[in-house]
Amino acid sequence: MAIIGGFSSASLLAAGIVLSVVALVVRRYYFHPLSKYPGPFSHVVSSIPVAVSLLRGNNHAHLKRLHDKYGPVVRVAPNELSFCSPQAYEDIYGFRSHDEPMEKDPIWIGALMTMNGEVGISYAPRDVHARQRRAFSHPLSNTSIKQQEPLIQEHIQTLVHRLEELEAAGKPANFTDWYTFTTLDIISDLYVGTPFGCLTTCDRQWLEALQMGMQCGVYEQATRRLAGSHTWLQRKLYEYVVPTVLKQGKMTHFLKSKEKVMERIQDEERDHKDFMYYILRNSEAKNLLSPTEILLNSATFIAAGGDTTAATLAAITYCLLTHPDTLETLKAEIRGRCKTQQDITHDNVKDLPYMEAIIREALRFYTPVVIGSLRQVPPHGQGVMVDGNYVPAGTTVSIPQWTATHSELNFTRPYEFLPERWLHPEKFPKDRQGAAQPFSLGPRGCIGKNLSWLEMRLVICHVLWAFDLELEGGKEGAWKWDPDGDVKHVKAYMMFQRPNLWIRMKKARR
């Protein structure tokens, strides 16, 4: 071993590494462009704490605690700021008429795979996103969704019939699963013209593949925080850190989606007016999407349309059954408007004020996506203003949705389920309703928002018209849903890993 000035080369190397780390820490803490923003020392100098919270499935609670301590703007990583105000939503995700829009940060990209260098609508750069969104604008328009209502009603009727069978047998139902079976059958029938048959077979394979795929994406985000995007080290971390079962689930979801799409493409002349009908028959839409993009978007739409709506339906049902007075008021509203089951049409129930307030409050109380969608301030610009704060070019910014909807800065008594806050906002003068954006906003706002609202209204009306419900085992039977402590009893990887929701049904008393 070489000796230099009395020191071995190994000692000098070790000293050099230590000095480099110290210099990096000093720079990040004292001389970084974000040094004026508050945050814990460990987060200011390293991305490890946030990465660990993602891997543990408690990122939503972790960031909420940081905002509770440090305020509306927190430096959560060396080059990352977290916000929680309504104005920050507009500044980060909204339409930016005079400024270059913020693209999704490369750290965030990765929840769904790429193919041949192409990506789906959720992760596409601005111009590609706009092109793909135009292709889906017609099948997801209000007019087209209205035309699809009979198909949606058919699947909801199947749900009701399956619940009737369980009720007749004296058995409870796990509504967490049944809602997901319903929304998966609806979105698959809408997208490729063939339902998955989940309501018929009760096959949980696709449901589990969806959830594992989302968890895999969050794990991959953690590796990118630690080692950058598409680096050799990041690929190695992904290989060894992400459990094989999650990678297999992600692949299963994609391959099953691909199989359904390929079957539909081969039946191009089919008259069933699903999403693929409009894409394959409309020359403009067909030219806007490559075959690879059609495949990637199938996985995206099935994941988004099949899981987020089901999550909200389960949350609504839990909240109703733990708030009996609210449940009785809603049942009276629905059954007063709809004398027969045939009266349950979207046109007839879309303006029920109490139901609208309940859905909006459930979307706040159990926001479907709990972590923030990362954006990057244009790296070659002059920086931007976010909620009155100057943010330098190249900074990663986001709003963690669970933090925004459960912060006392935005909502009075945020851990209480209070539909009245949406019916009578004057009674909640300190509420900042713009902090609840479950579908996001701006040019990347959820393209399936109208479909989701239609499904939620119709499912809730049909279920509460047909049945009287009670939690199996009383309120204690669903204790894991309790939001106390930021739903500390379950993990969240982009979305909560929803606990079972066992409910006993009885035919409605009229």
Q: Quick check: 508 pLDDT over 60?
A: yes
Rounded CA separation 484/464 (Å): 27
Residue 283 has pLDDT above 90, yes or no: no
Q: Is the pTM of this model over 0.85?
A: yes
How many Cα atoms occupy the beta-carbon half-sphere of 378 within 13 Å? 13
Residue with tokens 């939620």: 456
Q: Write the pLDDT tens digit of every residue in 450-490.
A: 999 999 999 999 999 999 999 987 666 677 787 776 677 78
Q: Which two tokens stand for residue 508?
A: 């409605």
Report whether pLDDT(12) > 70: no
- pLDDT of 119: 78
446 is in an annotated binding site: yes
State residue 254's pLDDT score: 84
What pLDDT is recorded for position 67? 98
**What pLDDT, on the 0 to 100 scale, is given for residue 59?**
95
* Residue 311 predicted with pLDDT over 60: yes
- Rounded Cα distance between 444 and 423, Å, is 28
Residue 33: is its pLDDT beyond 70? Answer: yes
* β partners of residue 8: 3
pLDDT tens per residue across span 48-107? 999 999 999 999 999 999 999 999 999 999 999 999 999 999 999 988 766 677 888 888
List, for residues 172-224, the tens digit of each pLDDT value: 999 999 999 999 999 999 988 888 899 999 888 888 888 898 899 999 999 99
Residue 266, pLDDT score: 81
pLDDT tens-digit map of 429-461: 999 999 999 999 888 888 889 999 999 999 999
- In Å, what is the CA distance from 36 to each residue of 20, 25, 75? 23, 15, 9
Model confidence pLDDT, tens digit, residues 34-44: 999 999 999 99
Contact assessment for residue 423 and residue 431, using Cβ atoms and an 8 Å cutoff: no
Cα(311)–Cα(200) distance, integer angstroms: 20
pLDDT of 127 strictly over 90: no
Predicted confidence band at 141 (pLDDT cuts at 50, 70, 90)? confident
Model pLDDT, residue 194? 85
325 vs 100 pLDDT, higher one: 325
Q: State pLDDT tens for residues 146-168.
A: 989 999 999 999 999 999 999 99
pLDDT at 477: 64
- Considering only residues 368 and 1, tell me which one the structure prediction assigns the higher pLDDT: 368
Question: Which residue carries 């260098």 as its tokens?
Answer: 117
Q: Are 397 and 80 within 8 A, CB to CB?
A: yes
Q: Which of 199, 194, 172, 167 is nearest to 183 (CA)?
A: 199
How far is Cα 374 from Cα 228, in angstroms, rounded to an integer? Answer: 14
- Regarding predicted confidence, which is higher, 240 or 267? 240
Is the domain spanning 33-507 CATH 1.10.630.10? The answer is: yes
Which residues sit opposite 104 in a β-bridge? 375
Percent of the chain with pLDDT strictly greater than 90? 58
How many whole angstroms separate alpha carbon 288 and alpha carbon 293? 9
- Best mean pLDDT range from 201-215, 220-234, 243-257, 351-365: 351-365
| pLDDT, average across residues 492-499 | 89
Sign of CA dihedral 433, 439, 445, 450: negative
Of the candidates 137, 143, 149, which has an alpha carbon nearest to the alpha carbon of residue 189?
149
Mean pLDDT of 357-370: 95
Indicate if the pLDDT at residue 285 is higher than 60: no
Q: Which residues are bridge partners to 396 per DSSP?
A: 80, 376
Lowest mean pLDDT across 295-299, 369-373, 397-401: 295-299
pLDDT of 103 reads 86
CB 359 within 8 A of CB 316: yes
Q: What is the pLDDT of residue 47?
A: 95
Report pLDDT for 10: 67
Predicted confidence band of residue 267 (pLDDT cuts 50, 70, 90) = confident
